[in-house]
Structure 1
Amino acid sequence: MTSVSTSVLGRMPDGRPVHVLRIGSEPDVVVEVLDLGATVHRLGAVGGDGVRRDVVLGLPDVAERLAGGGYVGGTIGRYANRIAHGRFPLDGREVQVEVHDRGNSLHGGPDGFDVRLWDVRTHTPDEVVLELVSPDGDQGFPGTVTAVVRYRVAGDVVSVTMEATTDAPTPVNLTNHAYFNLAGEGSGPVDDHVLQVEADLFTPIDGTGLPLGTDHAPVEDTPFDLRRPTRLGEATESAHPQVAAVDGLDHNFVLRGSGLRRAAVLEEPAVRSRLEVWTDQPGLQVYTGNAFDGEKRARGGGRHHRRAGVALEPQLFPDSPNRDAWPSPVLRPGDTYRSVLEWRWGRAAPGTR
């Protein structure tokens, strides 16, 4: 019988160990998950050229992650993306949560789920399940929320199931913040990656990343038209005002359809690697690592420079607690929040562009 593989990456400031939990087995996909942040630390996959690579960005140690590691690989909560000014109405009252990103709340606040030590509920050779209890008032959010994240590897498919319950009404919007570089961490920017997104609309934003009103915009005749495979560099170097505002892509795409369906395809032509992202969420935030400036050390040595990876984050729409016309993020007692994400790995055909 195959045994589980666990090691210690380091320790929290209070002395608690941070574990590396390995699931999957070669020659298929192998994932290393940290109980710190329920984080994807490594993901090894074989490209079309036959070479196995770590295809997600990582951080080298606990200190780097706790110092504000750019959410690399972490589970994001309570609320992924931004809430304007950290304020929103809830059942007739106004709630104020902590702000830290240009006057807004981002990814759950300055002490989000990605820097918490989660409890390991189960760990088998193919699956790890982690749990976090977020108390009432955490970062200003009402209600005690219990979040559970399940990572499972089955051949070349990695599934990430996120669930949450609460004892009082509160907004919940969880996602995973892995940055992908299919040529391997440290191989340079992802400009030559080719991305396709199954969306006819995107969400325009202001200079702080907040949506401009409640209307989405057609992708047609813009750099956001990724309905056909498009080299990322063509989109991120565009002079379009929405691209220039954030020095790349950091936008929500309104996915077609509902239920578990394909949201995006990412390919790296040089190594012939292919990733399909499947989700049951209405939106996909595409972020091209615009803020990486070489300050953060990479897990494999070197530094994370601009566009070292691309994040493909399935989620509800940004600032949804303030937008009644959009899918509601409010979780109520007796209900269960559930989000399903799948990464399906494959090999791109020779000559893919």
Structure 2
Amino acid sequence: MTQQKVWVLGNGQLGAMLAHAGQPLALDVRPVDIMNPTDDKLPLADNDIITAERELWPESSTSLQLSEHPNFINGAIFARLADRFTQKSLLDELEVATAPWELVEDETQESNLHQAYGDRVLLKRRTGGYDGKGQHWLKQAESTTIPADWRNEAIAEQAINFDEEVSLVGVRTQDGRCLFYPLALNLHQDGILMASVAPLARLSHLQAEAERMLSTIMNGLEYVGVMAMECFRVGDELLVNELAPRVHNSGHWTQAGCHINQFELHLRALCNLPIHTPQVNYPCVMVNLIGIEKDDRWISLPNAELFWYNKEVRVGRKVGHLNLSAHNDELVQDSIAKLKQWMPEQYQAPLEWIIKEFS
């Protein structure tokens, strides 16, 4: 029997974890380096399936060969969601709540933006911004101005005084069923996700509304596979901040906490394999490893699973993540106490945040 091949546009950590998840399913998952392409043709077959680990990629003979394949699942959706203008336009069209916004055009004036959205207005580049990059604050008190080269290339968004940030990872099957993991609570620092905790009983009353919102989006796009929806929680209301048409950092906790993780769930949907609602085995904490060297003491923790990406360590770069299973609060607090001793200053506040959630 010939193995089903799944090609991934991109060979970063998400592609690597997709390949790992494909092995128990007897799927031949092949991440492709699209940042350093060659002129060699890929041996694509008619029944191969194509997915992507990122929303944008450079145009080359390699990326064109993959993206123009008839089995490039969700092909037109990646570019639509990669552009914040078309992503926000979609949310408005589907009547899914998001922060008030508008396109920054040639004639857009700072005074009009402040009049519409308040003293602080966040500009976001339409494409390419992630982990806090591609953002610029307009602050009325400081007379901050719109950068000249951001006109028509950015949106302006009302600053939201949110209570906290949550995300929902879900999947849509080829026959249109939508299934979900529990909401995850996320902590960002300098625009970068530092930690996620899921599930939390105190968020359960928001689950149905979050599922309704993401179902509306995935059905509206006729999407197939895993999608992540990052939201601001304001009281008992959710506002969509960003969408990711792929597996997502805030879903990494599912590798330890669920019997089907987000990577396997995505592959099952793409390959039309049986899918049911993932079971949560126990709560889990995910800690992103950012700009720090690998420390083997981490895996001395009895509830820790390490995922190291084999990247060059640089300031602000995600180089791995730790999943800590939370069989009981005492175990979590003991593990976090040890990590506080072993990890640098920038981790002290996020680790305290985790302890607080489990106390």
Q: Normalised by the size of structure 2, how large is the TM-score?
A: 0.27
Q: Which has the higher helix share?
A: 2
Structure (1 or 2) with the greater strand fraction: 1
Question: Which has the higher relative contact order, 1 or 2, with Cα contacts under 8 A spaced 6 or more apart?
Answer: 1
Larger Rg: 2
